[in-house]
Amino acid sequence: MTAAVETTMAAGVPRRAGFVDLGAVLLTILTIIVACIWFFPVFWALSTSLKTDQEAIADGINILPSNPTFNNYLYVIQHSDLPIWYLNSTITSVGITFLVVFMSACAGYAISQLRFPGRMALWWTILASFMIPGTALIVNHFIIIAGVKLLNTHLGVILPLLVAPVTVIVYKQFFDGIPRDFREAAVMDGANEFQLLFRVYLPMNWGITTALAIITFIGAWNNFLWPFLAIQNEKMMTVTVGITQVQDTFGVAYARVIAGAVMAGLPVAIAYLLFQRRVTQAITLSAGIKG
Amino acid sequence: MANVELKNVSKSYGSVQVIDNLSLKVEDGAFTALLGPSGCGKSTLLRMIAGLEEISKGQCFINGTEVTQTPPSLRGTAMVFQSYALYPHLTVRQNIAFSLSLAHAPRKVQDEQVGRVSKMLQLDQLLDRRPAQLSGGQRQRVAIGRALVRDPKVFLFDEPLSNLDAALRSQMRVELAKLHQDVKTTMIYVTHDQIEAMTLADKIVVLDKGIISQQGTPLELYNRPANKFVASFIGSPAMNFIKADVASKNGDGYTLALPGGRTATISSRGGTASGNSVEIGVRPEHLALGAPGVAGSSFDGTVSIVEQLGNTTLLYVDTAGGTLIVEGEGNLRVAVGDKVGLTIDSAQSHLFGADGKVI
């Protein structure tokens, strides 16, 4: 047997039994530690929500409730407008998701595929909008929305949250990557621009739209600051704003407040668990842009 | 069916002139190939006919109607792309019916048309598959089906076989030829492969740097090239070119002093050599192989490479006129290093002047 053949065979020999890859073990331990640190607040919230008020504020660290109870959840459901807040959150989040995705797809398509005067200026404006944090615009938003008498309305919550440069950029990049032949083939077949977008470009990868929709929905559902400012009427509040009313009503009833918070976050957690792969894809798509 | 006419069309991208004042007529029902090397403007010309590229100057007519400003979908043309451009999210059936669906054709009409086309292209068993589940040849047929279902007046093909392997390309050539016989629609076919052009087309238009170098039937181009570019582009293996000096003019032809000291008399096509220096163009099959040193032969040389192709043998012979390719019989018994004599078939040779034009 030649040396070359021996070398080739040695390369294919399985790792020696009992051999431990120390680097992999350390990495696994580190990952588990980080996961535990990340999960602890969630666990603590769940645990506290199942405690009595006395136990929740008792001295010392009680990791697990001594007598687990769902009374806090029942209390929040029975003594607050939680169902209405859920409905309001659903209306505004679905509205924001639909409009953001629709408008971003249209804008991304226009900037990527159409040639019109001011196209590049528009593109640079969208890129430049990253420089301005959303909170810096909140006073302007409030004045405008108040001026058009949309405070305490669903539309008033929705409109300022439609500014989503990341989704536009993700769509533009996606459309840029589609070979020109598809467009030309569809043009030869008689497709207009709307048909090109909705029958050729978007369906080619619904995954991107799904991912962007999920991440937009999660962002809209979790949004607190703008709905908090725009809504004073308790019946129009979203769930994230509504749970602050739980605190007001019951004083510092931590267990109940946290039960409300858990319920507020539940739809998002379910959405994440159901669409985990798509959420990860959306974060990956937008990560490069956010830098 | 329709004829296509381009009148003095030009296309430029900024300062780059891609098509320069080109005029072309494609007859009704003809299969015309636009042939040329990469960057010669053949695809641009096709796209101008399709309406996918704006015509900078000039006019385009389809069936006598000017379509220079007409949108692509209203020109009555259908195009098959090099990449096939099949919509990956649609099934074969949906791909073929796409144009009908855009036009809101009734479902029954769509089904009938898809049935007709799929039967013609033997796609009936594949209608529910997606493009990713098809082979290259099947995808190509779907692309043709998508064009066919529109019942176009003119078919445009942009290098449709270049993504296929050699065997499949050969098979698809036959299928395209059959398709043309069946539908008898005007077809314009862009290719850089002269074999495709020669085997499929009634007429070949050779393009070079945005202008028509020559147009004619495949045999006209092969046997009577108008210039050195066409002579070198058409034919495989390529034509041999030998520099020679004019010794004297004899009636229709010239007696030429060949490199190495011998002479050859080549007929001209009526042109006159502008200077003393010309080039002889002779195809590999028009160089006769013989013993070295024989009187009347054109060159003596040494065989440097032998390519046995089965039905034919190609010899690369080093001579005073450069390395010449000679095509001989399949069972030729010649070895590398053998000394041979070569004789130019004067009747089948061509003379090119210093400007590259045939004399």
- In this structure, is residue B280 part of a structural domain? yes
Say how far apart CA B136 and CA A135 lie, in whole Å.
Answer: 54
Chain B residues with beta carbon closer than 8 angstroms to that of A203: 87, 89-90
Domain check: are B245 and B155 in the same one? no
| Position B359 in a domain | no
Which pLDDT score, from 0 to 100, does residue B226 have? Answer: 93
The verdict on residue B357 lying in a domain is no
| Strands (DSSP E) found in chain A | none
Query: Are residues A204 and B72, on separate chains, in Cβ contact within 8 Å?
Result: no
Does residue B159 share a domain with residue B18? Answer: yes
In a domain, B358, yes or no: no
Q: How many CA atoms lie within 13 A of B124 on its CB side?
A: 6
Minimum-distance CB partner of B50 among A188, A190, A206? A188
Chain A contact present for B99, CB below 8 A: yes
Co-location of B210 and B80 in the same domain:
yes
Task: Report the complex ipTM.
Answer: 0.84
Cβ-defined contact of A188 to B98 (cutoff 8 Å):
no
- Per cent of chain A over pLDDT 90 is 54
Q: Parallel, antiparallel, or unpaired: how do β-strands B211-216 and B57-62 relate?
A: unpaired
Residue B155 within a domain: yes
Within 10 Å of residue B90's Cβ, how many Cβ atoms? 19
Residues B165 and B274 in one domain: no
Q: In this predicted structure, what is the pLDDT of residue A211? A: 87
Beginning with the edge strand found earlier in the chain, give each strand of the sheet holding B154-158 in spatial order: B77-80, B154-158, B186-191, B31-35, B203-208, B211-216
Q: Count the Cβ atoms, other than its own, within 10 Å of residue A19.
A: 8
* pLDDT exceeds cutoff 50 at A6: no
Q: Cα–chain-centroid distance for residue B232?
A: 12
Query: Quick check: A184 and B85 CB within 8 A?
Result: yes
Query: Which chain A residue is nearest to residue B84, measuring alpha carbons?
Result: A181
Chain B nearest C-alpha distance from A184 (Å): 7
CB of B78 less than 8 A from some CB of A? yes
The mean-pLDDT minimum among B20-34, B118-132, B244-258 falls in B244-258
> How many angstroms separate the CA atoms of B263 and B260, rounded?
9
Question: Which residues partner with B19 through β-bridges?
Answer: B11
The residue of A188, A195, A197, A208 whose CB has the most chain B CBs within 10 angstroms, and thus the best one to mutate to test that interface, is: A188
Task: At A73, list the tokens.
Answer: 């959840």
Q: Is the pLDDT of residue A14 over 80?
A: no
Kindly state the DSSP code that residue A88 receives in the 8-state scheme.
H
Q: Are B190 and B157 in contact (CB under 8 A)?
A: yes
Query: Do B220 and B267 have their domain in common?
Result: no
Provide the shortest C-alpha distance from residue B52 to chain A (in Å): 7
Domain count, chain B: 2
Chain mean pLDDT for chain A:
86
Per-residue pLDDT, averaged over A111-119, amounts to 94
Give the closest of A189, A190, A204 to B88, CB-based: A204
The CATH number assigned to the domain with range A74-290 reads 1.10.3720.10
> Which of B233, B255, B277 lies at the terminal end of a domain, its last residue?
B233
* B301 shares a domain with B169: no
Residues A204, B77: C-beta atoms closer than 8 Å? no
Give CA–CA dist B13/B54, Å, rounded.
Answer: 10
Q: In what order do the strands lie in the sheet with B65-66?
A: B16-26, B4-13, B57-62, B65-66
Look at residue B340 and tell me if it is in a domain. Answer: yes
Q: How many Å apart are CA B44 and CA B331, to the nearest integer?
A: 45
Q: Residue A205's closest chain B neighbor by CA?
A: B89
Lowest mean pLDDT among A52-61, B10-19, B238-247, B256-265: A52-61
Final residue before a domain boundary, out of B200, B233, B266: B233
- Over range B228-252, report the average pLDDT: 90
**Using 50, 70 and 90 to split pLDDT, how confident is the model at A10?**
very low
- How close, in Å, is residue B126 to chain A by CA atoms? 20
* DSSP symbols for A127-153: HHGGGS-GGGGHHHHHHHHHHTT-TTS
What CA–CA distance (Å, rounded) separates A154 from A213? 19
B98/B221 Cα distance (integer angstroms): 40
Range of the domain at B329: 240-352
Domain termination residue (choose one: B233, B250, B279):
B233
What are the boundaries of each domain within chain A? 3-71, 74-290
Query: How many A/B residue pairs have CB atoms within 8 Å?
Result: 55
pLDDT band at A17 (very low <50, low <70, confident <90, very high): low
User: Alpha-carbon distance B100 to A189, whole Å?
Assistant: 8
Higher pLDDT, B231 or A253: B231
The two structure tokens encoding residue A1: 């047997």
3-state secondary structure chain B: CCCEEEEEEEEEECCEEEEEEEEEEECCCCEEEEECCCCCCHHHHHHHHHCCCCCCEEEEEECCEECCCCCHHHCCEEEECCCCCCCCCCCHHHHHCHHHHHCCCCHHHHHHHHHHHHHHCCCHHHCCCCHHHCCHHHHHHHHHHHHHCCCCCEEEEECCCCCCCHHHHHHHHHHHHHHHHHHCCEEEEEECCHHHHHHHCCEEEEEECCEEEEEECHHHHHHCCCEHHHHHHCCCCCCEEEEEEEEEEECCEEEEECCCCCEEEEECCCCCCCCCEEEEEECHHHEEEECCCCCCCCEEEEEEEEEECCCEEEEEEEECCEEEEEEEECCCCCCCCCEEEEEECHHHCEEECCCCEEC
Question: Is B113 an 8 Å CB contact of chain A?
Answer: no
Q: Are residues B99 and B229 in the same domain?
A: yes
B98 interaction partners in chain A (CB closer than 8 Å): 186, 189
Are B184 and B333 within one domain? Answer: no
| One domain, residues B280 and B314 | yes
Residues B271 and B321 in one domain: yes
Asked whether residue B54 is domain-assigned, the answer is yes
Sign of CA dihedral A21, A24, A27, A33: negative
Query: How many angstroms separate the Cα of B232 from the Cα of each of A93, B71, B358?
Result: 68, 38, 12
pTM of the complete model: 0.80
